Structure 1
Amino acid sequence: MTIVPRSYKRTRKYRPNIWFEKLMALVAVINLIIVGFDLSYVPLRDFWLSGQVTIGGIKSAYIKLDGVKLDLISEDVSRFITQYDAVKGIIPNRDTEEYLDKVAQLRAELTVNGVDTPVAQNLFGDIRRRSIEIVQTDAFSEANKTGNLERIKNRMRSHLPNKDNSAKTAFWQYWTVKNFQGKVTPELEFFDREIKPLFETNYYRVVGENGGYVDYFGFIDFPFGIFFAVEFLGRTWLISRRHINISWLDAMLWRWYDFFFFIPGWRWLRVIPVTVRLNQAQIINLNSIQKQLSQGLVAGIAEDITEVVIIRLINQIQSSIRNGDISRLLSQQTANPYVDINNTNETAEIIRILAKVIADRVLPAIQPEAESLLQYSVDKAIRESPAYRGIKLLPGGDRTIINLSNQLISQTYSAFSSTLQAALAEDEQFDRLLESLVSNLGSSLSNELQAQQSMNKIELLLIDLLEEIKINYVERLSQEDIEDILEQTRSLRNISHKSPEY
């Protein structure tokens, strides 16, 4: 039986149950839909009340189109949905409700007894008075429905035009025996079709003791908050157990977006954790959007980062030059003792390695080309010398000179290569001499430069050169087309993804 160490158990990759993730994502979506309905109920209450939308309606000083009215939900569904008024603390407005009750009483009286009865005349007078009061006091303002009152006034003015274009006059003329005489049915149909639905949209919201509107949505949302809070605690506890050096608090911060599920305010922000959960449940794919967002962020800050990093680097180099680090580097002398971590002179060792590579590998490889170049140079020098003209007149003199030069060059090259290889062989005396040479070379160079007062001038020139680089080139780097760079990055990623893996 193999015993698996606890450390291995805690470092294995966590693979969530995809069906559990889908279930939790579904619950989150349901909660988000309920929250969205609650947030939009008051602004869309007119639609839930009538179940109609008007398409193509245009009213202006030059054109008037009534548009097309579409019934999207039935009256029964509308009546069921508007029961949500109790959750938002919405009750009928007393003034408009009494107004519609008076109109209903007048309708019943006109249908049974006609327009000439004393009861009908009293009702006409009462409704006229109430109409003027509603227009003057703006009874729709508490529900923020003043726009609906303006529609009522406009429709009444269009129905009964008057020279003053007054809504009060139109209402006064409408609710009269003379206007209803012989046309009770058409006038009541006009009111039911154009005026009554707008009156029904008016309401009053109950104000609580805290000064805000009464809202009982918290009782609906509370079970969801408890559910997601328990799930959050359990999930983060498992995360802390499955990862080394991750505390429970760290795991909670890891899932920071889930906090929006049980925060009473800003419920619309729950779209963030819902979107994340849908992506984790593989219901939607946000990888392409994530790439675009990250690339957009990179494009936005790359220019500033490029400029800041390069200027910071140049400023650091300038500061080092002003502090005399170049001189101390050449002499390997600093204010503090030089720290040697491996008892090795790295500069001398690098020179020895390079020299050995040249002697063992480079010189033999380039021997034919080097001998040809040397042969050509020697031949050219000999032919241009005055002695060559005399030797050339002797029998075989020209050939003799060529053979001698060839042998001399070949032997010299071979001797140089052999001598260098022998010198680079394991030899402690050679290593000490080489290290002494390198050390004295840097020290002598630094001393001579300082003796000739050239170091200060070199430092000033280097500082000015770096300043010119900042002015002339850093701005060009920051203005480089970041989109081209990102396009090249995407191309490289595509190539790497397409390349076979072994």
Structure 2
Amino acid sequence: MWFERSMAIIASISFLVSIFDLTYIPCRDFYFRNLPSVVRAYDRFKGIQPHRETERYLNAVEQLKSTVEQTGIASSQTQSWLQQLDTLSVSMIQNNPFQVAGKTGNLERIKDDIRDRVKNQSAKGAFNTFWSQEYLTKAGWDKEIQFFDRQIKPLIVTNYYRRLNESGNYVDDFWQIDVIFISIFAGELLGRIFFIRRHNRQLSWQQVLIRRWYDLILILPFAQFLRIIPVIIRLQQAKLIKLDLVKSELNRLFVGQIVNELTEGVILQTLHQTQGALRDGQITRVIRSYLNTPHVDLNNINEIEVLIELTLEIIVYRVIPKVQPDLEAILRHLFQKALSESPAYRNLQMLPGIGEMPAQAVDRVVKEISASIYTAMTKLLEDPDSAKLSRRLAENFTQSIGNEMQRGQTIVKIESLLYDLIEEIKVTYSSR
């Protein structure tokens, strides 16, 4: 087990080093701020070296600091270094030494910061003002050089020059590090193959290699991101991590996705087949066959009658009590509208002490009508004779509507409308 764990740790280190290499150039500024010693050591593998122009600029600033400390801001030696920095600033603006490293944005930020600092819209003029004895004396040497070190220097110091190889590509010597890990894993893979073959001779070399397929990723010099696969497998085998929960979650998500896709496929296929049946007239033939063929009763229950009775019970006992205030409001509105058109009613409203009586009478009438209708409907459902009449109504209603649908172009229109409706449902469902 100790060997498995050691190799799993080495594989993890190899993967982390690969990720560091892949992200080194785009994230070099971050590494430079947080791991400066690592950056100084790793730059050579990427052919990176300090850019001579920006390096010369920073050296001149350091010489200026030393001169001011020794001779003061008003000395001739200080003036000489200020003039040199002004010249280097103009050269930096014109030559853009940041372009090779893809950091032209840094130069623009530097120019913006200097322009804002000295209130001069010209970048060259702003640098000329900033690197002058008059400005530094008036604004304060310590304050201005701290501004430079805090805001300008970090933008310059991260600049670099990257060498090209004979093929015209940027130098990249990561292979010098990677070959160490590749050699380790290649030797381990060969050792495992010989060991497995020795204890299980019925397996061919190819079969043994297939068993350890994930180890091949570790000896490939490309596709470095894929090294996460053997790393996770090795860590799991070495019992350094537990992925049971992750595996179950991934399986749940995977199975859930498959179920969703299958459900969508089945629904869309069902809608498509229904459209085909409508287009071919199969629905019409089924309806006519059902209406013209004697009904086969399997359970001594007329399902249509039961459905109608159940629907009526839901409407009477559950729906109407909830919407009764709305029904009364509609009736009240209709009564009041009809009465308001009567001249006698309008005259009656104008009489003092009597104007409110018609409205109160309307309320009483509406409530009595509503209560009477609801009472009649409940008695209708509870009366056995009424139940017989309802069943006969259901039979006649079903037969009549079936016969009427078969006449003329009614069924054709219904099929066309249903076809269009299903097409809209398919489009809506597919675009979710």
Change (3 A) 1:158 1:304: closer
* 1:121 aligned residue: 79
Q: Residue 267 and residue 196 in structure 1: after superposition, are their counterparts in 2 closer, same or farther (change >3 A)?
A: same
1:150 counterpart residue number: 108
Distance in 2 (alpha carbons) for counterparts of 1:145 and 1:278? 40
What pairs up with 1:107-256 in 2 under 5 angstroms? 107-162=65-120, 164=121, 166-181=122-137, 183-242=140-199, 245-256=202-213
Asked if 1:46 corresponds to 2:29, the answer is yes
Root-mean-square deviation (Å): 3.1
Shift of 1:247: 1.6
| Matches of 1:245 and 1:35, distance apart in 2 | 37
User: Relative to structure 1, is the Cα distance of residues 303 and 184 closer, same or farther in structure 2, using a 3 angstrom cutoff?
Assistant: closer
Distance 1:220 1:291 in 2: 37
Letter in 2 for 1:97: E
What secondary structure is seen at the aligned counterpart in 1 of 2:49?
Answer: strand
Is the Cα–Cα contact under 8 Å of residues 96 and 199 in structure 1 kept in the other structure?
A: yes
* Percent identity between the two aligned chains: 40
Give the drift of 1:203.
0.3
Structure 1 residue 242 displacement after superposition: 4.8
List gaps (5 residues or longer) in structure 1: 1-17, 52-72, 312-471, 473-478, 480-502
**Equivalent-residue separation in structure 1 for 2:79 and 2:118 (angstroms):** 20
Tell me the distance in 2 between the aligned counterparts of 1:241 and 1:296: 41
CA apart distance, 1:296: 3.2
- What do the CA deviations read for 1:227-260 (whole angstroms, capped 9, x no partner)? 1011112223434455575321122122222122
User: Residues 362-405 of structure 1, C-alpha deviation per residue, up to 9 Å, x if partnerless?
Assistant: xxxxxxxxxxxxxxxxxxxxxxxxxxxxxxxxxxxxxxxxxxxx
Q: Distance in 2 between matches of 1:287 and 1:80?
A: 37
Call closer, same or farther: CA 1:191–1:175 in 2, change over 3 Å.
same
Write out aligned runs for 1:433-444 (5 A).
Answer: none
Task: Tell me the residue number matched to 1:82.
Answer: 40
Tell me the distance in 2 between the aligned counterparts of 1:249 and 1:28.
Answer: 23
- Aligned equivalents of 1:23 and 1:116: distance in 2? 65
Letter in 1 for 2:101: A
Shift of 1:279: 0.8
**2:58 pairs with 1:100:** yes
Measure how far apart 1:137 and its partner are.
Answer: 3.2
Q: 1:45 to 1:244 in 2, by over 3 A?
A: same
- When normalised by structure 1's length, the TM-score is 0.48
Distance in 2, matches of 1:232 and 1:45, equals 34
Is this contact kept in 2: 1:96–1:200, CA < 8 A?
yes
Q: Separation in 1 of the partners of 2:96 and 2:38?
A: 29
| Superposition map of 1:25-40 within 5 A | 25-40=8-23
Of 198-207 and 212-221, more deviation after overlay is shown by 212-221
Separation in 1, partners of 2:195, 2:247: 27
Gap change, CA 1:298 and 1:79, over 3 Å in 2: closer
| Shift of residue 302, structure 1, vs aligned partner | 5.0
Could you report, residue by residue, the CA deviation over 1:103-140 in whole angstroms, capped at 9, with x for unpaired residues?
22322332333344444333322321221232233321
CA deviation after TM superposition for structure 1 residue 80, in Å: 5.3
By how many angstroms is 1:49 displaced? 2.8
